[in-house]
Amino acid sequence: MKCPACGAMETRVIETRTADEGRIVRRRRECPECQVRFTTYEKTEEKRPLRVIKKDGSREAFARDKIIRGISRACEKLPVSLEQIEDLASKIEDDLKAEGYGEVPGAEIGQRIMEGLKKINQVAYVRFASVYREFTDLESFQHEIARLMGEKEVFRNEEH
């Protein structure tokens, strides 16, 4: 594996773990030349790739890393682990494939991200929703927070 920092062709594996219920192998690597550490992921190649239908109607290959970046931005400086972020991204991808999607609207992916974030961290949910739903003023934030608080109250009442 080539080092992303210095370009050295040989790196060594420090740690190997499985992720996504054994479907992905995560490896921590170190470059003996510059001592930079980085992570690589291995997974099987799909026969029928998932495609995303964008707002403008164009189509592109599903990119799990784009979902991870979006979720990570929403979770910045919050107590949400990388593992939780990766698990949510994997769950969304797996569910879409299991449901037989060949092509999926981007809006469907965004909705599933918001549903997952709502369960993980409500601040991250509001952050993601503010960008995804293009909040333009404080009223939009207040409305979403009030809706979230209402759902929380309904949940509390169901427990008792």
CA distance 129 to 132: 5
C-alpha distances (whole Å) from 30 to each of 9, 25, 39, 94 are 12, 16, 9, 30
- Flag the least confident range among 52-56, 62-66, 104-108, 155-159: 155-159
In this prediction, residue 29 carries a pLDDT of 96
- Flag the least confident range among 21-25, 92-96, 136-140, 144-148: 21-25
The one-letter amino acid code at 117 reads L
Is the pTM above the cut of 0.85? no
The rounded mean pLDDT for the chain is 89
Give yes or no for a contact between 88 and 116, defined as CB atoms under 8 angstroms apart. yes
Give yes or no for a contact between 122 and 74, defined as CB atoms under 8 angstroms apart. no
| Segment (H or E) for 16 | strand 12-19
The helix/strand count (H/E) of the chain reads as: 5, 6
For residue 138, pLDDT beyond 90: no
Q: Other C-beta atoms within 10 Å of 89: how many?
A: 23
- State how beta strands 59-61 and 103-105 pair: unpaired
For residue 154, pLDDT beyond 60: no
Q: Give the residues across from 29 on adjacent strands.
A: 13, 38
